[in-house]
Structure 1
Amino acid sequence: MQFKNPEVLYFLALLIIPILVHLFQLQKFVKVPFTNVAFLQKLVQETRKSSRIKKWLILCTRMLLFSAILFAFSQPYFSNKNTTKNQHTYIYLDNSLSTKTEGEKGNLLQIAAQEIIKNASKKEVYSLQTNTDFYKDISYSELKDELLKVKNTAKKLEFNSVFLKINNLTKNKTNTLSENILISDYQYNYNDKFTNVTPTFSAIKLTPSTKTNISIDSVFISNRNTNNFTINVVVKNQGEAKKNIPIAIFNDTKLISKQSYSIKKDTLETVPFIIQNQANFLGKIQITFSDTFSFDNTFYFSLNSTKKVNVLSIGNEADFLSKIYTEDEFNFTQSSLQNVNYNSIQKQQLIVLNELNEIPETLSKSILDFSNKGGNIVVIPNENSEIESYNNFLEKIGNSKMESKVSDTLKITTINYEHPLFKNVFQNKVSNFQYPNTQSQYSISSKNSSKIVSFENNLPFISQIKASENAIYLFSSAINKNNSNFLNSPLIVPVFYNFGKMSFEHSKLYYYLDAKNKIDVETNLEKDEILNISNSEASFIPNQQTFQNKVTISIKEQPYNTGFYYILRKKDTIQTLAFNTPKEESLLNFMDLNSLRENNVNISIFTSISAIFENLNENNEVHWLWKWFLSLAIVSLLLEILILKFYKP
């Protein structure tokens, strides 16, 4: 038994007062002379005894009366919680796209929201976390309103973010009992997110009724010629083999082609479509099949006119550059130091300083200005470079320094496979290729650089100097045939090709929602002019940065829905973007909560939302006893009245 006002019980000590009054203020009998009282002796003894019993009974009833009143005012109760503490319930409801499917009772997200509304206590305080919103310290009615409005989203929320929110809430709340409820389908492998310091929480798993799914994994273009090209649709199957699945491709709303295909169990299948060449193709691929998820049966992509990257090489003429920077993808220009057109520098995306003996001050200023406006630079030193001239340039542009030349043959042995320059270049790490070498090299010191390719002594051969708006790639050795055989290495093509391609972020075939996307748009904006992105349903202004001849757009939070979106300058459409749902949402990989609980004692698992709220309401239920003590006080008072009225000693 617990007490809401336990301090009232201290007044029980005052009950000693009626006891003392009873003991020391007894009624005194007066002696009356009488001639012969022998026959009254027995009667007197019986009367005195009955009087004492009556007084003891009255004392007991009064003591019981006062005690019952004091207990009633202390408000005793039976409960698993302390009423002096507030109850706060934190609810995380996973509204990711993977909960947009059917369970035993219907749509997983909608049924979960309805069951919370049905079973949650109307008296408690709640905090509701979804993948997009957080509502702190809300009442039941506010909780109900938000749950009725909740919708599926492509935005993902990691469990460590949920736990961080729980810890922050708990830390800021005193005299509060907290209950944490996580309702999710527990998609993906999140085992590394749960540790012994994970907050205590109750887990409810939303389970889809169907255990098979077909999704469009990706799209790529091949066999492009003057007449047509091939659109390759990669389809992923999870579950049993399937036959005669209809698939269609549209140009916006116009049906272009339709076919059917079969796919084996748990595998990928590539479905090709041969399409006639046409400008600005708005592709939509659609699969007609009923499975776990319907959102991944439609895929969007767009074919924009690809802009060529402007590349300028200043210095020695290099045939290998003209072979890499071909006319179909690049506008490549070579110029000697004496014939540089300084007016054309700002129109480039990539400038290669190819084995200059020195970097004059005039060129240094132009290149520095080009770099500050977002242009990328490749610096290849000469075997006999004037180190002072190079250092004046490198210190200004990248806070770097070139040491004296070392004449020593070194092999180029180490590749940084994690660098973006080699993304999708290697399927596996190469450990036994024929190492190229250099006859001489310069030691490079830089406070802010990363290695791309290194020598056998771990010194950098190619490094990237980190800059906020651009990329600066620095070779530590000349690469002409007299000093190195690097031009014969398989690395030469992907390295320089990606130098060019990464200098301008062309729009891709498609993008994913809730992902960091970066796009370069070739346009010259006027002062205070901005680009916006929109379609028939939504419009927003993305983060953007304006440079000399381009605008770099960064997208993360928006858009919210799949489909085609248009980059607009005022009312003119510059580019078309296609957005799709993250393909991870289509995975049928879910956590086993039972195995998770074995390693985490802080986790309680419930089979349904109603079960957890029944348990919570039962633990929070308070059985008040003050009414019983008040009734006891009334009974004691009635007993005293009856004793006084009917008990005649």
Structure 2
Amino acid sequence: MRYQNPQLLLALFAIAIPIIIHLFNLRKYKTVRFSSIRFLKEIKQAKRSRSRLKNLLILLSRILAITFLVLAFAKPYIPTKQEQTDIAKNIFFYIDNSFSMESVSENGMLLDIAKNKAEEIANQYDTESNFYLITNEFSAKHSRSFTKAEISSRFQQLTTTAHYKSLAEVISRQQSLNKQNENAQMYALTDLQKSTFAIENVNQNDSNLSILIIPLNKTAENNLYMDSCWMSSPIIQKGKAIEIIARVVNKSDVTLTNLPAFLHVNGMQKAISNFSVPPGEKQNITFKFTPLSSGFKQCKISLQDYPISFDDNFYFSFEIIDKIKVLNIYEQSPNFSLQSLFQKDDAIDYKSVYIGQINYEEIKNQQLLILDGLTTVSSGLVQSIASFVKDGGSLAIFPSNDINFDSYKILSSELNLDEYLRKDTVKQKVNKISYPHKVFEGVFEKEEKKINLPMVSSHYKISDKNNTNKQSILTLEMGDDFISHYTYFSGDIYLFTSSLNDAGSNLGKHALFVPLLYNIALMSYKTTQLYYGIEKMQYFNAPTSENKETIYHLKSKNYDIIPAEKFVAGKRKLYLQEKLKEAGNYLLTTGGKTIATLSFNYSNKESDPSIYSGKEVEEILQKNNIKNIKINSSTNQNISNIVQEIQLGKSYWKLCIILALLFLLMEIMLIKFLKS
């Protein structure tokens, strides 16, 4: 037991006052004449014993009343382990300013409550204390200590942010700020959101740091949000209907019925979809619209939800180009089937070029490259093709009837393809078709048991070394592949085992040729990623530019960000670090020209409103044997009492006042009701 004001214990000498009064309180007897005192002697003995007992009890109650009154002013307490060593002068505040702190309680928005409580706590410390502020941004402007006068204004400047941090990350940040490793006290004001706070991951027991978690309770734990969206088909064309699917999540205990969701494209509402979703479940909602023009499409799907509204909008974007560029490289003569299919199509920019006149620089500007009947593939062409496919281009290989195997082996090795081994002249029919493959998107209504498939007069057997990287599209009746699909980095490769002329097969004249090659061409245009998450550091391929000094800008109505540049694996990349803070659609520009559109959404971790209870936190801390972290379970406890208990320990002055009043009341009762 210790005392905050031990000098006041000298007042205990006041106990002598009631003792002296007791000793010198001589009664003045009054003479009464009686004819006989025989019976009075017995009465006198009884009353004297009772009077002595009463006086002793009154004396005891007065002594105890004075004792506890003096102790109340001396403020007794049982010290904490920290106080037995040294009271911390470095005071850290972690204020959770993630989007979940926009939720409301009976006393207002959680972030406002957190700021006010932090200010009250700071006011309980003296001016010699060093104050530090930690928020979810880990801002550089909060990397130094603040005075008591400064910290208050820092609290009030806080706003919500898309960033969030776990308790383990917050402790790591505190340790980096407390460079001298001195005794420190941290107050963590948070809503204890399970998905982000992650108290289970804390495994340290730093004796120099004490943490008090002050939970901020919200009125409801319900939320409706979207966690993803996608296109139903990889083929997007002007004038043709497209289907967009979004997935909504109901984090509540009630079924939500007949709610509207809205699709906006370039600022105009294009579709509306009503949906219902059971409690705790996910539901896909579908929008259909027909783009009437090419160009960039900046899209937004919006819901109406309260009180958590930061995730009510979901952004995505894509581009519809005017024409897909297809380049056919031939050796003998341009293939008639390819020319008939592509040359007069308004959606295709088709060009045929003789192998001896090819400009390698022209290859990188195409979406689809077709090798039609080449006997030999030169090393220069191999390198250009590899670079083209690695950057996302599509390649279709039709071998000649008499290929140079060594030449094609180099190409296969460069692109991780199966090699052509030898020629098989046994006439076979295609008897197996991979209906689920994307090249047959919209071609068949159902799987046909009896279908007329191409006839193959001769084909090349392949090595079958890259099974993990291969999908068979068409298979011959003896089990050999006729068309195989490979992926190489972000590009697609379609390997045909037969030439496109009559000597190889009748594919060029077959009904399957048109949808097969046309879909390969349409899918050769790779749409950019529909959306990105803000929380992650995002890298982007820098658009092709002859000028290495090109400066890119990522722009929206409120922001103009210049992405940093790095070379990753020999390629020029753009990345945003943590400059981007607001969800939305952005344009990537250079020299005043828009070259791409990008969309960013907040992380859906914050959208899960589940929180820890105080009991759960205590159980986790006990299980992990963490003794320097405590949680304030009392919602109505006074802030000054919280700080006092942390600084000094358990205080008993209130109990002393209660006991002092109790003994004074006992004295009054003894005097009034206990007869002598």
TM-score of the pair, normalised by structure 2: 0.56
Give how far 1:359 is off. 3.4
Matched, 1:305 2:326: no
Alignment match, 2:94? 92
Alignment match, 1:540? 561
Which of 610, 630, 633 is 1:589 aligned to?
610
Report matched runs for 1:142-291 at 5 Å: 142-166=150-174, 168=176, 172-177=179-184, 179=186, 181=188, 183-188=190-195, 194=201, 196-197=203-204, 201-218=211-228, 226=239, 234-239=247-252, 240-243=254-257, 245=259, 247-248=261-262, 250=264, 256=269, 261=274, 263-266=276-279, 267-268=282-283, 270=285, 272=287, 277=292, 282-289=298-305, 291=306
Alignment match, 2:68? none
Q: Secondary structure at the match of 1:533?
A: strand
Aligned in 2, Cα 1:220/1:328: closer, same or farther, shift over 3 Å? Answer: farther
Partner deviation per Cα, 1:256-305 (whole Å, 9 max, x = no partner): 4786846243242626465673565554444445x231222334445643
Alignment match, 1:506? 528
In structure 2, how many angstroms separate the alpha carbons of the residues matched to 1:502 and 1:573? Answer: 22
Q: Secondary structure at the match of 1:113?
A: helix
Q: Which amino acid in the other structure matches residue 149 of structure 1? A: Q
Q: Which amino acid in the other structure matches residue 292 of structure 2? A: N
Q: Secondary structure at the match of 1:296?
A: coil
Partner deviation per Cα, 1:319-350 (whole Å, 9 max, x = no partner): 99999999798757676755645452232356
Check the 8 A contact 2:271/2:289 in 1, yes or no.
Answer: no
Give how far 1:116 is off. 1.0
Q: Which amino acid in the other structure matches residue 106 of structure 1? A: G
Aligned in 2, Cα 1:524/1:194: closer, same or farther, shift over 3 Å? Answer: closer
Aligned in 2, Cα 1:244/1:539: closer, same or farther, shift over 3 Å? Answer: same
Aligned in 2, Cα 1:257/1:546: closer, same or farther, shift over 3 Å? Answer: same
Q: Secondary structure at the match of 1:128?
A: strand
Alignment match, 1:129? 134
Alignment match, 1:294? 309
User: Number of paired residues?
Assistant: 501
Which of 564, 571, 591 is 1:570 aligned to?
591
Q: Which amino acid in the other structure matches residue 98 of structure 1? A: S
Partner deviation per Cα, 1:191-222 (whole Å, 9 max, x = no partner): 69525447674434443312322334555567
Which of 110, 131, 138 is 2:145 aligned to?
138
Check the 8 A contact 2:243/2:286 in 1, yes or no.
Answer: no
Partner deviation per Cα, 1:88-121 (whole Å, 9 max, x = no partner): 3443332222222212321112211221111134
In structure 2, how many angstroms separate the alpha carbons of the residues matched to 1:269 and 1:284? Answer: 16
Which of 624, 636, 642 is 1:600 aligned to?
624
Check the 8 A contact 2:130/2:145 in 1, yes or no.
Answer: yes
Q: Which amino acid in the other structure matches residue 571 of structure 1? A: G
Check the 8 A contact 2:398/2:499 in 1, yes or no.
Answer: no
Which of 118, 121, 124 is 2:120 aligned to?
118
Aligned in 2, Cα 1:403/1:95: closer, same or farther, shift over 3 Å? Answer: same
How many percent of aligned residue pairs carry the same amino acid? 19
Aligned in 2, Cα 1:273/1:585: closer, same or farther, shift over 3 Å? Answer: farther
Partner deviation per Cα, 1:44-100 (whole Å, 9 max, x = no partner): xxxxxxxxxxxxxxxxxxxxxxxxxxxxxxxxx977435657543443332222222
Unaligned runs of 5+ in 1: 3-76, 408-420, 423-437, 456-460, 484-492, 624-649
Report matched runs for 1:320-469 at 5 Å: 337=355, 340-349=358-367, 351=369, 358-364=376-382, 366-367=384-385, 374=391, 389=407, 452-453=469-470
Check the 8 A contact 1:359/1:393 in 2, yes or no.
Answer: yes
Give how far 1:188 is off. 1.8
Aligned in 2, Cα 1:264/1:247: closer, same or farther, shift over 3 Å? Answer: closer
Give how far 1:540 is off. 0.9
Unaligned runs of 5+ in 2: 3-77, 424-437, 440-458, 473-483, 505-514, 651-676
The more displaced of 95-104 and 207-216 is: 207-216
Q: Secondary structure at the match of 2:646?
A: helix
In structure 1, how many angstroms separate the alpha carbons of the residues matched to 2:339 and 2:112? Answer: 59
Alignment match, 2:109? 107
Q: Which amino acid in the other structure matches residue 160 of structure 2? A: N
Q: Which amino acid in the other structure matches residue 506 of structure 1? A: T
Check the 8 A contact 2:375/2:403 in 1, yes or no.
Answer: yes
Aligned in 2, Cα 1:368/1:480: closer, same or farther, shift over 3 Å? Answer: closer
Report matched runs for 1:24-43 at 5 Å: none
Check the 8 A contact 1:188/1:591 in 2, yes or no.
Answer: no
In structure 1, how many angstroms separate the alpha carbons of the residues matched to 2:525 and 2:264? Answer: 32
Alignment match, 1:620? 647
Q: Secondary structure at the match of 2:307?
A: coil
In structure 2, how many angstroms separate the alpha carbons of the residues matched to 1:319 and 1:614? Answer: 87
Check the 8 A contact 2:273/2:286 in 1, yes or no.
Answer: no
Q: Which amino acid in the other structure matches residue 589 of structure 2? A: L
Give how far 1:124 is off. 3.1
**Aligned-pair RMSD on alpha carbons?**
5.9
Aligned in 2, Cα 1:197/1:225: closer, same or farther, shift over 3 Å? Answer: same
Check the 8 A contact 1:194/1:600 in 2, yes or no.
Answer: no
Aligned in 2, Cα 1:248/1:94: closer, same or farther, shift over 3 Å? Answer: same
The more displaced of 259-268 and 596-605 is: 259-268
Aligned in 2, Cα 1:179/1:363: closer, same or farther, shift over 3 Å? Answer: same
Check the 8 A contact 2:460/2:498 in 1, yes or no.
Answer: no
TM-score of the pair, normalised by structure 1: 0.58
Q: Which amino acid in the other structure matches residue 360 of structure 1? A: S
